Structure 1
Amino acid sequence: MTSMGNLPPADSFKATWDFLEQGLDQIMNRLEEGLDFTRYTVLYSAVHNYCARGSPTSSHGVPDPLSNPHSRRAAQLIGGDLYTSLSQYLEVHLQKIKTESERYMDEALLQYYTKQWERYTTAARVVNNIFMYINRYWVRRQIDEDRKSDVYDVFTLALVSWKKNMFEYVHHNVIGAVLKLIQRQRSGETIENGLIKSIVDSFVSLGLDSSDSTKSNLDVYREYFETPFVQATEVYYKTESEKFISENSVPDYMKKAEARLLEEETRVSLYLHESTNKTLVPTCERVLVKNNSEVMWEGFKSLLALDKQDDLRRMYSLLARIPDGLDPLRKSFEAHVKKAGLSAIERIAQQEGEVVDPKTYVDALLDTHRKYNDLVQNAFSGEAGFVASLDKACGEFVNRNQICKTSSSKSPELLARFCDSLLKKSAKNPEENELEDVLNSIMTVFKYVEDKDVFQKFYTKSLAKRLVNGTSASDDAEGSMITKLKEACGFEYTSKLQRMLTDMSLSKELNDHFKELVQQSSQTTSSNVDFTILVLGAGSWPLSAPSTDFNIPEDLVKVYDRFQKFYQNKHSGRKLNWLFQLSKAELKTSYLKASKAGYAFQVSAYQMGILLQYNTATSYTYQDLQKSTALTPEALHPALSILVKAKVLLLSDGEKVGDDGSRYSLNFDFKSKKVRINLNMQMRTEQKVEADETHKTIEEDRKYLIQAAIVRIMKTRKVMKHSALIDEVLTQLQSRFKPRIPDIKKCIDILLEKEFIERVEGQKDMYSYVA
């Protein structure tokens, strides 16, 4: 190691600076030749000895300028002349680099600039370490005590000097060269990305915080590079997009715009500062997307009509980038889906006429929803606005289509009938897994149905029939559907449905107990009768009392009386109301010539009452049968019609069912390919009457629901304006059905008459609750 004698005298500034200047020349101009540790140590010691002379020595033998106030003041003063000389040296050095740079242009200038910047900053770090003693004491005190804004640590001084003596003279040419290089890249040429990144990094490094030399900012980068770069980008893409879109289709333009946006986002990650993304991308979005949004909006309908999912996805992703860019698409999409749904139903109405098959109808609704729901999920990323547009459109064509013109409640009625066909035993029943999927799809349509009370009525009636007639395909499927309805509409909506299933379980237990009792009893009820009964709660089941009297056939009287006594003993105080119109039986024949084994007739209770008369005679008049069964013509006529149509009974030539004096004879020549013959069929006229009655009960129920809602609201609010009351009633009942305003007004009038509410004196449109 070189001895301290090789160092310049510590008290001579000229000798010290001459010595340091030689070292600076080597560092700044020939650093690549190498600076050995010995030379580095000697230079550091020269700075240290000059600045620390006269200071007391610490316990380690090193001068300590902080040991007393006098030495602190001395150390503060010593070092300024070296700092000033270094600053002047750097200025002269940079003048030479600047002069040399004038020989270069464009990419050659960039190559020269980055090479000199890298060499200069590398050297500046070495110089900073050599002058560390000045940084630690003289510079720190200048900043802390005198708060001088033009004093920095040595490395920062080097950067400030570069900015002042080099950058400010050449930045115009450098920026211009960078922008030309980027434009060449945008035009498809391959350029050296690293070159631009080096330039950018140098601009970032020059962002110095004048109040704190240890901190930096992006002021230089933003002012000298980012701003002109973004402006040039805007001009470039404005020109390109206007030309391209005038010569190409909308889908082709969108591909171009998408590629350009990706390119600019990639450019930031390649060689720009990450903060530029916040300025560059919105600018590109404005030029490439917003400025051409109207053209894209106009092309949306044709893309929808042609089902161009890739192009729609691209349009969505582009317009989603700009404020309100998707609004026109959502409106157009809603109108398109509504039109598609209405057209699908219109085609069905034209094909099927007045009587529409529930499955065909529901499938048409589902197909439309499925198609456009897939589009929303795939092309529009399931975006909430498009989901809302789809829901609104589906709500329109589900509730207000051509088939609904005859009745606004047609959709929920047909949906309930479709459910019935699915859940009823049939050779066409889907497999269990498939059935669950179909039930889920039914709930999709159910979500859009406004008159959910209509669905509830028809579904409850069809469920009752399935349970009573034992035609449910699966108990699990019935339970699953009720669970889905409960999740959609709440416990109250399905409470009666759930109770119906419970009643069926209780009835099975009751039957088992009764049969055990019969078997244990020594009395014989009837050797020819297998008796099963359902006991159902009147409050839960949509079952009405019979509309006709009925004489129970002698064959059944004993078992009928026996069950009556059994039930009364088990549940005293309860009353059984027998619903013979819903009862059915199976009768075995032993009179036919064509079949020794006989046939089994599946009949209604009323048909059973008619046929059992033929155990005592083979021919009866209409009046005879009416008298023996006690059935009204409205009940007797359809029961006889089916028996005559099936040729179980024969009419004389020219006679019609129900004619006075018409005679019905047992057909001993009856033949059938089937052994079990179902004669218990509902006639189409009966189905229509039943549907009409269901609609009437719905209207009655709605009146009570509206009145209950009004009373409930008024009880809470006490006083309310007419318009506010109507709005609140609509809000509370919309989950069940959409009340008509005139119906609400009628219900208000009824409650005024009943004195549940009254008008506020002196105010026509104000009501108050009567406690």
Structure 2
Amino acid sequence: MNGDSRNRAMQQHSMANRKITLEGMWSEVEPGLTSVFQMKQMSKGGYMHHYSTVYSYCTSMTHNGQEPPSAPSLQTKSKRRPTGRGEPSCSDAATPSTQAAWVGMELYKKLTDFISGHLVGVREKLKHHRGDELLVAYAKQWQDFRFSSKVAHGMCMYLNRHWVKRENDEGRHKEIYPVYGLCLVQWRENIFSGLETQLLRAIMDMITRDRNGELINSNLLRTTVDSIVELGVSADVDGDERNQASANRTVTDPSRDNKAVGLHVYKNSFESHFIDETIKFYTQESQSFLATNPVEIYIGKVVGRLAEEDVRCTKYLHESSGPLLKKTMEDVLIIKQMDILHAEFKKLLAEEKLEELASIYNLLSRVPNGVDSLYKLVETHIKEFGGATLANNAEQLMNDPRAFVLAILEVYDRSSKLIHGAFKGDHGFSTAMDKAFEHLVNNNAITVLAKNPAKVSELLARYCDGVLKKSTKNPDELELEESLTRLMVVFRYVVDKDVFQKFYSKLLSKRLVLQTSASDDAEASMISKLKALCGFEYTAKLQRMFQDIGLSRDLNDQLRAHLETGNRSFDCEFGIQVLSTGAWPLTERNTLIVPAELERPLIAFKDFYGAKYNGRKLTWQFNLSKTELSANCFSKKYIFQASSYQAAILLCFNSKTQYPVVELQQMVGTERPYFDQILVILLKQKVLLIREEAEEVDEKDLLVEGVSVKLNTAFKSKKLKINLNLPIRAEQKQEEDQTNKVIEEDRKLLIQATIVRIMKMRKQLRHQELMAETLQLLSNRFKPSVIIIKRCIEILIDKDFLKRDEEAKDQYTYVA
């Protein structure tokens, strides 16, 4: 401790030990307080003298031998505690505690009277001012008074820390404040209460001018509003600037702030009035603005006003007003204008103005449930423009898988741009888009024209076939992968995924058997995508088909080694693929008498396979086979790519150059009219002729009695390798019908298997519960009708897999 500190401590000690009366103490302190509140300069020594005087008075226990008078207001309901040494209780004599209470109360009353008297003069100075003049004068007087109150608070620090604290802790008085709080209470009662109406009117007028764009003194407003906040004083307010949270615009500890400075004066006197004025101002402005301006401009105006009020709250309002002010603004400017904004949204949506839609979305998303009613509008919009896009060229799209997929993807891209560009990918709008797109994919002009709701699944499968099949226009690997990825976007919305599987597996089988796949990696990638979306069971047969092709390669290598070992050879090269009956979508085959040139290799393979796999049965699928024939009977050597049936017909002409159609059909052994369809292709290609004239022929020409066909020895073509194996339209239609029939049968079996699986696990289940679980489990494959499920339940009851409960007919029991 240095010398000055030691001297001050000794002085304070000596002052504390001297006896001092209330009148003597007040005669020394009152002039100092007068100087402080008159904003006169006070030396540090003078300040310490007054502090020590108050300290000495408060620590005195007796005054000139006088006992403290009876003060009922200071008595407490203390319980009588027995003592062991015969000391008097609180009710028998004045204890140091009651003496200290009396001492503190007398000083507290003196301070109250002094502050109240000082504020009488302040009130006189303010009562004649109005408007901005009142705010200027009020702010000046408040700042001076606030500073003086803090100085007075420091001078009476001992009173604050001991007497005031004890009074509050013991609950003697509810309205005992530290000296700084006492000053604020007196200002509230003597100044603010009398000027509240004029003061609030002046504040509101200045805020209105600020909203109208006029330049105002925001510091003046902030000082005035801060004073109102601080007038909500509580018993533990601290006059120290460092500890007074309310003095700062940013409150680091809201719980402490609410305790130290109650907001009831601010809320009741200012905030309620401010909110009413805000509602009035913006209601009038919004109505007048909408009457003279488009809604698009109004949206920008509202966004600007909301931002302005956020700044305004930061500049001169208490932070607690922020949420209420924001809600009020949103109620007046958005919720009350919701019908107008919704009508504008419909207009903008029809024109797909993304920036304007984004603005109105951002505005409406500020209020609770503000955009919920817009989801249905977006869903309807996507359905309408998507349906119109597909309806424009429905007939073309129904027969062109690539055009259909590109059209539906165009709709998807447009919808996605709308959702992400205008609505930031909002979950509600994304869900609305999904609902609209699912409806659009499964119910559109193409499905109506085809009278088949599963037509889309077939088109997607055929699009895949076009992408994955070898051609001169095959894209590179990256473009191919991108095409498959884009296709899966559409496939995700397909309901009849089992129909897609049937058509895809049939087309895949042809690509694998005929070796026309553009890329094995692309085929594997597509199956992987289907497996990720639909599960392992969905792609199990597809993967088995790939395994069979791999095993067939090994089997052909073994066959060649076997033939070389036996020194056996044939006039032709051949390869055979063994396909598992359960995995491949094999159809009924047409009969064929195998030509002698091809029969010997088939017999050799049959013997080899039978020796290797005893008990397995081979059934030849000539409709999946292909043959290359070397033609040396024309002016040039040609190679014909033909089906097995076409090869059988052409090989007959090694013996002679002309046959009656009936004889030729008997030699080939294929039933009509399928034989006629194959022969017509050869006639159209001019390899065979009915007549010398080069006119078109059809199947009717082959029905003429005695008609013959002959080899066209004058055949010419610019190509040396000619593909004769062209698709037969009637065969395609037959395959489609057969596939659709298989799909219906497979669906019934799958539904029955699903029901049995559910009942085996549940044992007993009511009808509605069984229906719900069946629909849920089958939803990733197709959406079965309720009628079909009921029929399948009846079939299972007839087969004794299920039985109805005798007491509850709507309950089924599993029969083990």
Measure how far apart 1:727 and its partner are. 4.0
Cα gap change, 1:101 to 1:502, in 2 (>3 Å): farther
Which runs of structure 2 are paired with 1:58-457 in the superposition (5 Å)? 74-210=99-235, 215-349=260-394, 352=396, 355-405=398-448, 406-457=451-502
**Which segment drifts farther, 465-474 or 432-441?**
432-441
Structure 2 residue aligned with 1:645: 684
8 Å contact kept, 2:33–2:152: yes
For residues 136 and 612 of structure 2, the distance between their equivalents in structure 1, rounded to whole angstroms, comes to 106
8 Å contact kept, 1:197–1:271: yes
Structure 2 residue aligned with 1:51: 58
Deviation digits for residues 469-506 of structure 1 (CA, Å, limit 9, x no counterpart): 21212222212221222222111111111222222233
Say if 2:649 is the partner of 1:613: no
8 Å contact kept, 1:348–1:361: no
Say which of 555, 559, 584 aligns to 2:601: 559
- 1:79 aligned counterpart, secondary structure: helix
Cα gap change, 1:162 to 1:433, in 2 (>3 Å): farther
For residues 248 and 373 of structure 1, the distance between their equivalents in structure 2, rounded to whole angstroms, comes to 32
Which runs of structure 2 are paired with 1:701-712 in the superposition (5 Å)? 701-712=746-757
Deviation digits for residues 266-323 of structure 1 (CA, Å, limit 9, x no counterpart): 3222322222122111111111111111122223222111111122122222222334
For residues 505 and 517 of structure 2, the distance between their equivalents in structure 1, rounded to whole angstroms, comes to 13
For residues 19 and 649 of structure 2, the distance between their equivalents in structure 1, rounded to whole angstroms, comes to 138
For residues 446 and 160 of structure 1, the distance between their equivalents in structure 2, rounded to whole angstroms, comes to 74
Structure 2 residue aligned with 1:18: 27
For residues 223 and 544 of structure 2, the distance between their equivalents in structure 1, rounded to whole angstroms, comes to 78
Structure 2 residue aligned with 1:63: none
For residues 436 and 270 of structure 1, the distance between their equivalents in structure 2, rounded to whole angstroms, comes to 57
Cα gap change, 1:750 to 1:102, in 2 (>3 Å): same
Say if 2:81 is the partner of 1:42: no
Return the TM-score normalized by structure 2. 0.86
Measure how far apart 1:462 and its partner are. 1.3
Cα gap change, 1:156 to 1:212, in 2 (>3 Å): closer
Structure 2 residue aligned with 1:61: none
**Which segment drifts farther, 484-493 or 728-737?**
728-737
Cα gap change, 1:400 to 1:94, in 2 (>3 Å): same
Measure how far apart 1:723 and its partner are. 4.7
Measure how far apart 1:131 and its partner are. 1.1
Which runs of structure 2 are paired with 1:705-724 in the superposition (5 Å)? 705-724=750-769
**Which segment drifts farther, 192-201 or 758-767?**
758-767
**Which segment drifts farther, 753-762 or 374-383?**
753-762
Structure 2 residue aligned with 1:753: 798
8 Å contact kept, 1:333–1:389: yes
Deviation digits for residues 661-720 of structure 1 (CA, Å, limit 9, x no counterpart): 433322222211112111111122211111111111111112222223333344445555
For residues 554 and 605 of structure 2, the distance between their equivalents in structure 1, rounded to whole angstroms, comes to 14
Measure how far apart 1:736 and its partner are. 1.7
Measure how far apart 1:411 and its partner are. 1.2
For residues 440 and 189 of structure 1, the distance between their equivalents in structure 2, rounded to whole angstroms, comes to 59
For residues 688 and 597 of structure 2, the distance between their equivalents in structure 1, rounded to whole angstroms, comes to 21
For residues 570 and 216 of structure 1, the distance between their equivalents in structure 2, rounded to whole angstroms, comes to 97
Counterpart residue identity of residue 52, structure 1: T
For residues 469 and 638 of structure 2, the distance between their equivalents in structure 1, rounded to whole angstroms, comes to 25
- 1:274 aligned counterpart, secondary structure: coil
8 Å contact kept, 1:196–1:271: yes
Say which of 509, 528, 544 aligns to 2:554: 509
Cα gap change, 1:746 to 1:72, in 2 (>3 Å): closer
Counterpart residue identity of residue 338, structure 1: K
Which runs of structure 2 are paired with 1:687-698 in the superposition (5 Å)? 687-698=732-743
For residues 645 and 356 of structure 1, the distance between their equivalents in structure 2, rounded to whole angstroms, comes to 23
Structure 1 residue aligned with 2:91: none
Counterpart residue identity of residue 645, structure 2: Y
Measure how far apart 1:392 and its partner are. 1.7
Give the count of matched residue pairs.
Answer: 749
- 1:191 aligned counterpart, secondary structure: coil
Cα gap change, 1:126 to 1:569, in 2 (>3 Å): farther
For residues 720 and 319 of structure 2, the distance between their equivalents in structure 1, rounded to whole angstroms, comes to 85
Measure how far apart 1:115 and its partner are. 2.5
Measure how far apart 1:516 and its partner are. 4.2
Structure 2 residue aligned with 1:58: none
8 Å contact kept, 2:177–2:236: no
Measure how far apart 1:222 and its partner are. 1.1
8 Å contact kept, 1:622–1:659: no
For residues 510 and 577 of structure 1, the distance between their equivalents in structure 2, rounded to whole angstroms, comes to 17
Structure 1 residue aligned with 2:67: none
8 Å contact kept, 2:176–2:235: no
Counterpart residue identity of residue 426, structure 2: E
Measure how far apart 1:121 and its partner are. 2.2
Counterpart residue identity of residue 429, structure 2: F
8 Å contact kept, 2:180–2:237: no
- Pairwise CA RMSD: 2.7
For residues 533 and 658 of structure 1, the distance between their equivalents in structure 2, rounded to whole angstroms, comes to 36
- 1:83 aligned counterpart, secondary structure: helix
